[in-house]
Structure 1
Amino acid sequence: MTDAVTALREILGPKGWLSGTDAEPYQRDWLNRYGVAPLGVARPANTAEVAAVVKACRVGGVAVIPQGGNTGLCGGAVADRADAIIVSLSRMTGIGEPDPESGSIAVDAGVVLAALHDALEPHGLMFPMHLGAEGSARIGGLIGTNAGGSQAFRYGMMQDLVLGLEIVTPDGAMWDGLRAVQKDNAGYQLRKLFCGAEGTLGIVTRAVLRLYPTPKQQASALLVMSDFAAAVSFGTYLRGEAGEFLAGLEFFSDVGLRLALKNLPDLAYQLETRGDVYLLVELASGSARVPLDEILASALEWGMEEGLVVDGALANSGAQRAQFWRLREEQPEGQRLEGEQLK
């Protein structure tokens, strides 16, 4: 172990190797339930250093735990044994220029999701992955966990948004699968193997991601449903009515909502009625000519007539839309503040 640590210090230098108190911020998971002190934290600055770290650990018999933004809720990004190192890609944050013709962009695995959103905004393009932890979640971790996000209903999971990958395999070799082709049937789609593999098959170092034009308009609603079966029935109806404009359809329960409202004083519930089951609905379009508000209002009226929707409201501004989504996205924080939990 000593030889491996010495090798890692030489490979990474003082900025790239953390140990002792400097490594403590990486040691525990977001819920502060899991994690033991590892030998140290490797913070490589490029793919070559990632490969060198993996090779040194393989020679030295040291376990490797890849870590993105460490926003997971299951303890998968922290060490469960002392003879291990954490590999954090937090120094690898390069964002390439978006290519509007291919609808793609190349980014390093350590890029924070919110930083990617900010970088794309001036170009009229978006990466359709949104979740409560986007201010700290990193692209590599999102790929490793095959994240879904709030718009998975329209755009798919993370594996559907990844066009190509660069990977360091467990033997320290590099696999270059950085392709920007959307209609790609050239042999095995190896990139799919790494989406959801949680670092067990290799460490993602760079990715080519699929982009979409930024919607020119959105229509959102928060609905109280009579029960879960009603939520399913209403969702089926909405899929038929809204079709390709249906961007988000998210369920949550009153259990999660209650904990969020209890523990986050700035969170506000804006409907008169509470229930056991809620739906967040969002329509989006790249054209300003599509009557999204009419489509959603008509669906809401139908749901109430059928007894599926007990109460509901359409967002009348971007600020209210954000408040609706916070009710869903802040629930993990509300649960964390409540105490220990099973996930």
Structure 2
Amino acid sequence: MMPDTALANLLGPKGWLTGPDTEQYCRDWLDRYGVEPLGVARPTSTEEVAAVVRLCHASGLSVVPQGGNTGLCGGAVAQRSDTVIVSLARMTAMDMPNPASTTIRVEAGVVLATLHAALEPHGLVFPMHLGAEGSARIGGLIGTNAGGSHAFRYGMMQDLVLGLEVVLPDGTVWDGLRAVQKDNAGYQLRKVFGGAEGTLGIVTRAVLKLYPAPRQRATALLALPDAAAAVTLATHLRAEAGEFLSGLEFFSDLGLAWILKHLDALTYPLETRGGVYALVELTSGSARVPLGEILNAALEWGMERGLVIDGALAMSEQQRAHVWRLREEQPEGQRLEAAQLKHDIAVPPP
């Protein structure tokens, strides 16, 4: 039996797509990479993922796992026609969060924004936020070891995963769904799969680390003259705000210019432009911590030393959402400006 026929028999018409039905899975978000695959498998369970992988392994077919397909480097699309894309989009089950252990077990196809909404009634949060959270899926975030806008405080995606279930390249299922935070039981294999881009296996389920929802936030957008000022200000903020500093993001005036040019809904809320911008957010689980005073004092300190040209605190949730969009829509502004080659580089401060 031909492998495509076997996959069709295994998954049914909704689970095995070919030809024009694969169009939405074939190209990356920037429409730079990807060819039409042999087909797209859309399993609904770990058992089906394992069966697909075993069949492809036996047939010598390439396998590419795909989450929300929001990546910018072509890692979730086919590069050869003898490839099967395994979409996790139908695996969206979530357990109830466990308030005692502050964890939740989810399938890899859960959309990040859906997880946020599900946790809200329980007074818990999953502190991963990024511009693509309305389409990015948990499996893809793990595979790419996503950082997001609050990595400064909570770490990368790898740091927020306590346990994993993974289908290995031969179709074997590795069960590492541990749900304890103090875990010194041998090799931390979950960290090997985090950031492996699906090359070592397909993540099907994960146990995620949660946090109590903050009771208050203080957010500010600051205009700075240059990157050197940003480094100095960041050092001061870390010392003064300590554990309350949950978000610290920088972007350039060029990036700001592009999103203001192409996205009519966004406006610049300050009077003076800078060379770079800092988006600072403080959070606390206590209503007694004077977050606004701490942030205002840091802003004044920076202005006195010429590190801050202009700045303002968000006075409402609407204003907070708006200034965060100035950071999160940077990829969209770049996409609309011109063709790009993407990179993701981290360097230590001087």
TM-score with structure 2 setting the length: 0.97
User: Counterparts of 1:10-25 in structure 2 under 5 Å?
Assistant: 10-25=9-24
Partner of 1:4: 3
Q: Which amino acid aligns with 1:109?
A: A
Q: Which amino acid aligns with 1:83?
A: D
Partner of 2:145: 146
- Secondary structure of the 1:15 match is coil
Q: Which amino acid aligns with 1:95?
A: M
- Secondary structure of the 2:134 match is coil
> Is 1:247 the equivalent of 2:226?
no
CA shift for structure 1 position 4: 1.2
User: Counterparts of 1:225-240 in structure 2 under 5 Å?
Assistant: 225-240=224-239
Structure 1 moving runs of 4+ over 3 Å: none
- Secondary structure of the 1:181 match is coil
Partner of 1:54: 53
For residues 208-251 of structure 1, the C-alpha deviation after alignment (integer angstroms, 9 at most, x for no partner) is 00000000000000001121011011000000000000000001
Partner of 1:277: 276
Q: Percent identity?
A: 74
CA distance in 2 between partners of 1:137 and 1:297 (Å): 34
> Is 1:92 the equivalent of 2:91?
yes
Partner of 2:293: 294
CA shift for structure 1 position 81: 0.8
CA shift for structure 1 position 255: 1.3
User: Counterparts of 1:76-91 in structure 2 under 5 Å?
Assistant: 76-91=75-90
CA shift for structure 1 position 259: 0.9
User: Counterparts of 1:59-70 in structure 2 under 5 Å?
Assistant: 59-70=58-69
CA distance in 2 between partners of 1:275 and 1:19 (Å): 50
User: Counterparts of 1:121-270 in structure 2 under 5 Å?
Assistant: 121-270=120-269
CA distance in 2 between partners of 1:337 and 1:240 (Å): 38
Q: Which amino acid aligns with 1:251?
A: F
CA distance in 1 between partners of 2:228 and 2:125 (Å): 33
* Worse-superposed segment, 203-212 or 267-276: 267-276
CA shift for structure 1 position 339: 2.6
Partner of 1:33: 32
CA distance in 1 between partners of 2:75 and 2:338 (Å): 19
* Structure 2 stretches lacking a partner, 5+ long: 343-350
Q: Which amino acid aligns with 2:104?
A: I
CA shift for structure 1 position 263: 0.7
CA shift for structure 1 position 306: 1.0
Q: Which amino acid aligns with 1:161?
A: L
CA distance in 2 between partners of 1:260 and 1:70 (Å): 22
Partner of 1:329: 328
- Secondary structure of the 1:309 match is coil
Q: Which amino acid aligns with 1:265?
A: D
CA distance in 2 between partners of 1:276 and 1:19 (Å): 49
CA shift for structure 1 position 21: 1.0
CA distance in 1 between partners of 2:338 and 2:47 (Å): 41
- Secondary structure of the 2:13 match is helix
CA distance in 2 between partners of 1:34 and 1:148 (Å): 23
CA distance in 1 between partners of 2:245 and 2:312 (Å): 17
For residues 256-303 of structure 1, the C-alpha deviation after alignment (integer angstroms, 9 at most, x for no partner) is 111111111111111111121110000000000000000000000000
CA distance in 2 between partners of 1:18 and 1:196 (Å): 28
Q: Which amino acid aligns with 1:258?
A: A
TM-score with structure 1 setting the length: 0.99
CA distance in 1 between partners of 2:275 and 2:57 (Å): 51
Partner of 1:71: 70
CA shift for structure 1 position 27: 0.3
CA distance in 2 between partners of 1:29 and 1:263 (Å): 21
Partner of 1:108: 107
Q: Which amino acid aligns with 1:237?
A: H
For residues 53-98 of structure 1, the C-alpha deviation after alignment (integer angstroms, 9 at most, x for no partner) is 0000011111000000000111110011111011000000001100
Q: Which amino acid aligns with 1:219?
A: A
For residues 17-60 of structure 1, the C-alpha deviation after alignment (integer angstroms, 9 at most, x for no partner) is 01111110100100111110000100000000000000000111
Aligned length: 342
CA distance in 1 between partners of 2:291 and 2:284 (Å): 8
CA shift for structure 1 position 331: 1.0
Partner of 1:309: 308
CA shift for structure 1 position 254: 1.0
CA shift for structure 1 position 10: 1.3
Q: Which amino acid aligns with 1:30?
A: W
